[in-house]
Amino acid sequence: MPTKVVQIYPLGNVTLSQNARSRSIRLSVRQNRKILVSFPLFVTFREAALFAQKHTDWIIEQQKKLTTSLPKFSEESSLQTRFHQVSICRGQEFAVRQQKQAIEIFFPGEKEIDDPQVLDFLQQTINEVHRREAKLFLPQRLHELAVRHGFHYNRVTIRNNRSNWGSCSGRNHISLNLHLMKLPDHLIDFILLHELAHTQVKNHSAEFYRLLDGITQGRARELAREVKKYSPYSM
């Protein structure tokens, strides 16, 4: 579909992209602070640009959040995930090399570590590591907790979600955020139990918290407050 890059002061480059499947104008700020406006066929490029300009303050605020929340990489950075040791190295080109539990992420030697293209590649690669680990760990752990506490659900999916840690549909399909893999184990369990509790109570009523308290040794609200110290948006 047609795409156009326009300059909008003070935002700089904004990518406008028509999408036949879109029903409304959607505005997003990517990990590399790139601004994207996706819009239906009945909306003009001029209208899409005006939409972005109208939301300048929101865009700048999101870019600030990303700037402060992006991991601070260095040339010798290393990251220990649940199953892997991830290292960042200079190389000839963008590349990823894995040997058993060791993963090396390479970026071109002529680029700086804080180059937006480098940061975007590093973030996407590390997200993919967490996605693979989440698929290995989270469904199995969810099953263990469901069996232990007598819950039943239909299926589980793993997503890269900025708005929540998990959700449970009316049909008891559970969706889990891959960024759960960055949380302490006791908070991962709490969020999994939270979604399992929603298979029986679909709201956040007193009944729901009584159920959740019963499976968290009376710590439901305490753990919920601890989870709020973290944000899937910034992880």
What are the tens digits of pLDDT across the range 49-89?
999 999 999 888 877 766 555 456 666 678 899 999 999 99
What's the mean pLDDT in 134-141? 98
What's the mean pLDDT in 113-126? 86
Pairwise CA distance, residues 235 & 123, whole Å: 10
pLDDT of residue 52: 94
Whether residue 234 is predicted with pLDDT greater than 90 in this model: the reply is no
Q: Where are the domains of the chain?
A: 3-69, 78-130, 134-234
CA atoms within 13 A on the CB side of 80: 0
What is the β-pairing status of strands 12-18 and 35-39? parallel
pLDDT of residue 32: 60
Of the chain, the percentage scoring pLDDT greater than 70 comes to 92
Which structure tokens are listed for 134?
Answer: 């989440």
H/E run at residue 57? helix 56-69
Pairwise CA distance, residues 143 & 134, whole Å: 14
Q: Is 12 helix (H, G, I), strand (E, B) or coil?
A: strand
pLDDT digits (tens, 9 = 90+) for 154-164: 999 999 887 78
Whether residue 30 is predicted with pLDDT greater than 90 in this model: the reply is no
Fold of 134-234: Zincin-like (3.30.2010)
Q: Is 211 helix (H, G, I), strand (E, B) or coil?
A: helix
pLDDT of residue 165: 94
Pairwise CA distance, residues 168 & 211, whole Å: 16
Which of the given ranges, 21-30, 68-77, 194-203, has the highest pLDDT on average? 194-203
Is 104:153 a contact under the CB 8 Å cutoff? no
Pairwise CA distance, residues 234 & 71, whole Å: 9
pLDDT of residue 123: 85
Q: Provide the β-strand partners of residue 38.
A: 17, 26
